[in-house]
């Protein structure tokens, strides 16, 4: 990072103080002259180190961007000492599934994430990423962020570039082109291949084609992470497919934001988790991530429309909607999805999160919007409203259709880590899913402390060492000497999420300090001016001459 960022805080930067301390120690000629003093000392912490082991009392010493010492008591000169007085010090949280590109360029401090202790955001999920990645990563590097950022490369975006949005198999030539784009993404620094087999065009991709691309990512050290083809009635088939992609592709594979959508399907997590256990028992490296909410969020069209109606892109979607018999078929399918899947059995369970073409719809449910249009609050008329929304330009939606029992069962599973599936919202704008503000604090406050679904130590593991290991980040995710000093300090009795579906724009509370690469990015309830985040690159990265 450029040196110009040092000293950007209002008061003297720790590094500047450290220089003065070194000079003083050298002049005194004491033993401290041999060891450079610490830049920062966190004293009296309950250290939850990320491994899942029980917390222990200790001090954490930081020099530069690195954890220099961890010991029961550190008696060494430090430019700054913070007495954390029994608060938890844990590794900064690593979010393996984010849509951070939505907002990070407007809000490079990513306040919503930092204020819940997140120090690393991984982009490019659901088969969707910038292609090529290199310019995107360079732009992030030039931006200067409070958090570290990495990315996957998206299979859907690649297929869209090479084949388009149509429902057909790839030719050998197209497959070769897609393979080359996966390899380019990996060499640019992707952590692996993401798929979104639920979405267009991922949904038109045969498993064999995904396996071929997964092999290319795997050869360069990447993993496969999938928003699965189906999270409703056929969720178990989809878990088997995700496992098969890992097994046949020869790479680690992950079910991302695992959930069971639609009341008739609740309880199926018993079977999906058994499938994961059975695969792991025979040696398939399959893992899971999840967010702690009983509602999902995505585009209304993607969530409610059948795949066939979305083939070919927006022009063709609009053409189908203007042809009466095709429109009737789409509507019948949307009615089914509202009743049995993403709609949770009632149009009230579908809430608009944001709409570019009518901001006033944000926060209103499909039943209310339908009434507002002079229609009946029936499922048929609600489906008609959904068609109207898509014709008008589409909206992001929130869908309340997940059972709490499945959610807790999935969170508790030892192979499940935490991922928000969130973004970087503009504070106060629209009505986004609260996961962007609350995921990590909610796991700590609700699922570790209040409900005891997880121990505190296991919750931290699922947010730090576990995703770090999955991504091959060898120097992050643990409170241990030699690791990068990504750290969060929080009060385990007070930490909690405040963001709700009704009032999502509320930061988490109970977190007192967040450090990224040794610099304090959040303290005393406010973001600092430091921007020490780095672009993280995955295992296939090829150095291109620059240092």
Residues that bind Zn ion (CB under 5 A): 126, 227
Question: Smallest gap, in angstroms, from Cβ of residue 68 to Zn ion?
Answer: 39
Question: Smallest gap, in angstroms, from Cβ of residue 125 to Zn ion?
Answer: 6
8-state DSSP, 493: T
d(CA 276, CA 289): 12
3-state SS record for 44-96: EEEECCCCCCCCEEEEEEEECCEEEEEECCCCCCECCEEECCCCEEEECEEEC
d(CA 232, CA 94): 28
Beta-sheet pairing, 416-418 with 286-290: parallel
Closest CA to 385 of 474, 464, 395: 395
Question: Smallest gap, in angstroms, from Cβ of residue 238 to Zn ion?
Answer: 12
d(CA 413, CA 475): 25
Report whether 287 contacts 415 (CB < 8 A): yes
**C-beta of 126 vs 423, nearer to Zn ion:** 126
Q: How far apart are the first and last CA of the chain?
A: 12
Report whether 295 contacts 434 (CB < 8 A): no
Question: What is the DSSP code string of 253-280?
Answer: EEETT---BSGGGTTTHHHHHHHHHHHH
Report whether 384 contacts 370 (CB < 8 A): yes
3-state SS record for 505-525: CCCCECEEEEEECCEEEEECC
d(CA 99, CA 297): 12
**C-beta of 261 vs 275, nearer to Zn ion:** 261
d(CA 462, CA 440): 10
**C-beta of 228 vs 448, nearer to Zn ion:** 228
Report whether 126 contacts 231 (CB < 8 A): no
**C-beta of 255 vs 387, nearer to Zn ion:** 255
8-state DSSP, 195: E
d(CA 170, CA 369): 41
Other Cβ atoms within 10 Å of 85 Cβ, number:
11
Residue number of the CB closest to Zn ion reads 227
Question: Smallest gap, in angstroms, from Cβ of residue 467 to Zn ion?
Answer: 16
Question: Smallest gap, in angstroms, from Cβ of residue 233 to Zn ion?
Answer: 18
**C-beta of 58 vs 130, nearer to Zn ion:** 130
User: Is the bond preceding 226 in cis, omega lying within 30 degrees of 0?
Assistant: no
* Exposed/middle/buried for residue 473 (C-beta within 10 Å: 0-12, 13-18, 19+): buried
**C-beta of 227 vs 409, nearer to Zn ion:** 227
**C-beta of 70 vs 398, nearer to Zn ion:** 398
Question: Smallest gap, in angstroms, from Cβ of residue 296 to Zn ion?
Answer: 8
**C-beta of 60 vs 94, nearer to Zn ion:** 94
* Alpha carbon of residue 510 to chain centroid: 21
**C-beta of 419 vs 438, nearer to Zn ion:** 419
d(CA 262, CA 51): 35
Q: Which helix (H) or strand (E) holds 46?
A: strand 40-47
Question: Smallest gap, in angstroms, from Cβ of residue 260 to Zn ion?
Answer: 14
Question: Smallest gap, in angstroms, from Cβ of residue 228 to Zn ion?
Answer: 9
Question: Smallest gap, in angstroms, from Cβ of residue 300 to Zn ion?
Answer: 15
3 state DSSP class of 432? coil
**C-beta of 97 vs 268, nearer to Zn ion:** 97
**C-beta of 111 vs 126, nearer to Zn ion:** 126
Question: Smallest gap, in angstroms, from Cβ of residue 298 to Zn ion?
Answer: 7
Report whether 349 contacts 401 (CB < 8 A): yes
Closest CA to 45 of 80, 86, 83: 86
Question: Smallest gap, in angstroms, from Cβ of residue 289 to Zn ion?
Answer: 10
**C-beta of 257 vs 534, nearer to Zn ion:** 257
Question: Smallest gap, in angstroms, from Cβ of residue 389 to Zn ion?
Answer: 20
Question: Smallest gap, in angstroms, from Cβ of residue 459 to Zn ion?
Answer: 22
d(CA 163, CA 157): 10
Question: Smallest gap, in angstroms, from Cβ of residue 115 to Zn ion?
Answer: 23
Question: Which letter, b or e, does each residue of 418-443 get, where b requires 16 or more Cβ atoms within 10 Å of its Cβ?
Answer: bbbbbbbbeeeebbbbbbbbbbbbbb
**C-beta of 115 vs 227, nearer to Zn ion:** 227
d(CA 305, CA 459): 36
């Amino acid at each position: 990072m450029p040196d110009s960022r040092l000293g950007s805080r209002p008061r003297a930067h720790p590094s500047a103080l450290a220089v003065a301390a070194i000079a003083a120690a050298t002049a005194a000629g004491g033993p401290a002259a041999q060891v450079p003093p610490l830049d920062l000392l966190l004293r009296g912490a309950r250290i939850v180190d990320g491994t899942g082991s029980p917390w222990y009392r200790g001090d954490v010493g930081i020099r530069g961007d690195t954890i220099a010492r961890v010991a029961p008591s550190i008696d060494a000169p430090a430019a700054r000492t913070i007495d954390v007085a029994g608060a938890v010090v844990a590794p900064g949280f690593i979010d393996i599934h984010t849509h951070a590109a939505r907002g990070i360029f407007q809000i490079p401090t990513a306040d919503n994430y930092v204020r819940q202790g997140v120090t690393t955001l991984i982009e490019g999920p659901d088969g969707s990423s910038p292609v090529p990645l290199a310019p995107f990563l360079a732009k992030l590097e030039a931006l200067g962020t409070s958090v570290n950022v990495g990315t996957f490369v998206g299979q859907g975006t690649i297929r869209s570039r090479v084949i388009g949005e149509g429902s057909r198999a790839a030719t050998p030539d197209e497959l070769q082109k897609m393979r080359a784009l996966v390899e380019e993404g990996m060499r640019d620094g992707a952590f692996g291949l993401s798929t979104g087999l639920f979405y267009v065009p991922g949904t038109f991709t045969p498993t064999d084609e995904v396996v071929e691309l997964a092999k290319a990512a795997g050869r360069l050290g990447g993993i496969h992470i999938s928003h699965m083809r189906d999270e409703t009635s056929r969720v178990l088939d989809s878990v088997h497919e995700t496992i098969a992609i890992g097994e046949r592709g020869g790479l680690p594979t992950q079910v991302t934001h695992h959930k069971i959508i639609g009341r008739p399907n609740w309880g199926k997590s018993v079977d999906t988790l058994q499938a994961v256990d059975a695969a792991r028992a025979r040696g398939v490296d399959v893992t899971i991530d999840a967010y702690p909410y009983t509602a999902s969020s995505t585009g209304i069209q993607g969530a409610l429309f059948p795949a066939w109606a979305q083939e070919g892109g927006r022009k063709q979607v609009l053409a189908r909607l203007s042809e009466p018999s095709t429109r009737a078929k789409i509507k019948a399918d949307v009615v089914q999805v509202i009743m049995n899947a993403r709609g949770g059995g009632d149009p009230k369970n579908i809430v608009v999160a944001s709409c570019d073409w009518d901001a006033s719809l944000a926060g209103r449910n499909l039943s209310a919007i339908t009434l507002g249009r002079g229609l009946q609050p029936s499922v048929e008329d609600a489906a008609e409203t959904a068609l109207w929304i898509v014709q008008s330009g589409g909206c992001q939606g929130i869908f309340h259709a997940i059972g709490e029992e499945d959610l807790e069962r999935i969170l508790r599973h030892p192979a499940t880590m935490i991922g928000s599936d969130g973004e970087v919202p503009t504070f106060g704008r629209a009505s986004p899913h609260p996961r962007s503000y609350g995921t990590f604090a909610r796991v700590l406050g609700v699922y570790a402390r209040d409900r005891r679904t997880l121990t505190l130590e296991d919750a931290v593991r699922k947010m730090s060492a576990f995703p770090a290991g999955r991504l091959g980040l060898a120097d992050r995710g643990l409170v241990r000497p030699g690791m990068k000093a990504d750290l969060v300090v929080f009060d385990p009795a007070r930490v909690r999420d405040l963001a709700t579906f009704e009032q999502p724009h509320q930061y988490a509370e109970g977190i007192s300090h967040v450090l990224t690469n040794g610099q304090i990015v959040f303290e005393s309830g406010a973001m600092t001016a430091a921007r020490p985040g780095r672009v993280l690159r995955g295992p296939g990265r090829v150095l291109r001459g620059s240092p």
